[in-house]
Structures are given as structure tokens and as C-alpha cells.
């Protein structure tokens, strides 16, 4: 773990793959074993082929995020309660419902994106903000039935700010407490979790 911080971890793993000519890397990060497939074929094998898939159908419990946020679709370990919730969500957006629910939203968001491109003709355009808005609008349209016309919308900017702040305790290779449990008493860890809790409370108030 002392390697992390000097270079981005994805870059480091790529370097190791080339150095050791390995298609799969296995690391020991604190108390956890981490498996890193480095090709699409090996990734497919690990995720979809028995017996490997039996070990990759869940996610480890994330101490920092679970204590700061609680139940979260993107970061929750696959406990029985969460599996029931996920199954209900999948049924709500099952394939037969896609044309009625998703097509109008996708059509309008695509139109808005193309309109942004047309307005910016002849000028440099960073596609990140329009694509970010598409992602957020898809999420908000399906969940709350609302969307944002502009990336400069005050609510939109405030919500994004809170999301970014909360995500700081989700990162896999920056919150070392997820790998070294004793660090949960480390002052910096306590400070980050407290800050994320306050940010999450503000995000809930926004919603």
C-alpha cells in the first residue's frame, strides 16, 4: 500500500502488468485480497464463469462509506436486505418498460446535447459538462420526474457539489480505513467521516 499516492493506482497496476506480464494481479491491501484482471477476456471470466463468479457476486463492506452514508446502491455490500431492494429496482426498470419510460427521456436528452453542440459551433467545447448533465437528468427524470435545463442551475450545482464531497469517502484507494481497520480511530479518518455525514444531511435536505 505504500506504493499508492506516488502515481495513480490504475497507472501503477498497468505498470505492474507490463513488468510481470500478468493478465491477473493479486494484491494484499491491508486485511483484504484484491484481484485485478487486466484484459477484457479475463475480466469476463472472473465475473461470469464458475467458480470465479461465486466470489465476485458481492462487494466488501466499506467502513467509511457505510458509517458516513448508510445504505447506498453503488457501494452497499450484497446483504439479503440489499438484494431484495435491488431486485425490486430491477423489476421497476425491466426491459419491457424501457420504451415507455426511457425512450422519451433519452430522446430529449440527446436533443439537448446536440443543441449544445450546435450552439458551440466554431468554439472549443468541453463535452464533460453536457454529458454530466445527461447522466444527472436520466437519474433525476426516472427517480423524481424532474430535469435540469442548464448546468448552471443553482440546485444542480449545489447537488453536484454535495455528491462530490460525499464521494470522497467512497474512493477505494484513498480511505485506508477500509483496508486497515485500526485507522478508524485515526483523527483524519474521523474528520473525513464526520464531514461526509454533514454533507449527506445537506444532500438529503436538497432532495
User: What is the C-alpha end-to-end distance of the chain, expressed in Å?
Assistant: 38
pLDDT tens-digit profile of 29-79?
888 888 888 888 888 888 888 777 777 766 777 777 777 676 666 666 777
Q: Among 57, 74, 89, identify where a domain stops.
A: 57
Q: How many Å is the maximal CA-CA distance in the chain?
A: 55
Among the listed residues 70, 83, 87, 88, the one whose alpha carbon sits nearest the alpha carbon of residue 197? 70
Mean pLDDT of all residues in the chain?
A: 77
Q: Are residues 114 and 201 in the same domain?
A: yes
Let me know: does 67 contact 193? Beta carbons within 8 Å.
Answer: yes
Based on the fold, state whether residues 47 and 125 are members of the same structural domain: no
Whether residues 165 and 184 fall in one domain = yes
| Judgement on whether residues 69 and 121 belong to the same structural domain of the protein | yes
Report CA 36 to chain centroid distance, whole Å: 18
> Based on the domain organization, do 84 and 116 belong to the same domain?
yes
Closest CA to 111 of 93, 137, 86: 137
Cell of 31: 486485511
pTM of the model: 0.60
Same domain assignment for residues 192 and 90: yes
- State whether 100 and 141 are in the same domain: yes
Residue 190 grid coordinates = 474521523
Do residues 198 and 127 both lie within one domain?
Answer: yes
What residue numbers bound the domain in which 186 lies?
60-206
79 and 157 housed in the same domain: yes
Over 60: is that where the pLDDT of 200 sits?
Answer: yes
Greater confidence, 172 or 12? 12
Higher pLDDT, 67 or 19: 19
My answer on whether 103 and 139 are in the same domain is yes
Given 9, 24, 57, the domain boundary residue is 57
Residues 108, 144 within the same domain: yes
Whether residue 89 is found in the same domain as residue 144: yes
Boundary residue ending a domain (57, 73, 105):
57
Q: To the nearest whole percent, how much of the chain has pLDDT over 70?
A: 80
Which is more confidently placed, 191 or 99? 191
> pLDDT (tens digit, 9 = 90+) per residue, 123-164?
677 777 778 888 888 888 877 777 887 778 888 888 888 777
Domain tally, the chain: 2
Amino acid at each position: 500500500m505504500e506504493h499508492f499516492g506516488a502515481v495513480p493506482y490504475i497507472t501503477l497496476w498497468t505498470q505492474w502488468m507490463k513488468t510481470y506480464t500478468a493478465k491477473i494481479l493479486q494484491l494484499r491491501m491491508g486485511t483484504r485480497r484484491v484481484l485485478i484482471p487486466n484484459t477484457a477476456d479475463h475480466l469476463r471470466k472472473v465475473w461470469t464463469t464458475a467458480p470465479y463468479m461465486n466470489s465476485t457476486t458481492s462487494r466488501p463492506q466499506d467502513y467509511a462509506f457505510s458509517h458516513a452514508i448508510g445504505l447506498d446502491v453503488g457501494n452497499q455490500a450484497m446483504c439479503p436486505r440489499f438484494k431484495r431492494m435491488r431486485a425490486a429496482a430491477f423489476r421497476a426498470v425491466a426491459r419491457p418498460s424501457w420504451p415507455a419510460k426511457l425512450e422519451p427521456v433519452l430522446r430529449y436528452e440527446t436533443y439537448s446535447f446536440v443543441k449544445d453542440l450546435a450552439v458551440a459551433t466554431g468554439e472549443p467545447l468541453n463535452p464533460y459538462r453536457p454529458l454530466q448533465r445527461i447522466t444527472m437528468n436520466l437519474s433525476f427524470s426516472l427517480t423524481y420526474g424532474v430535469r435540469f435545463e442548464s448546468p448552471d442551475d443553482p440546485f444542480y450545482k449545489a447537488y453536484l457539489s454535495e455528491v462530490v464531497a460525499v464521494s470522497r469517502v467512497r474512493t477505494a484507494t484513498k480511505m485506508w480505513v477500509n483496508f486497515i481497520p485500526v485507522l478508524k480511530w485515526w483523527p483524519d479518518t474521523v474528520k473525513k467521516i464526520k464531514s461526509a455525514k454533514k454533507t449527506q444531511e445537506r444532500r438529503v435536505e436538497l432532495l
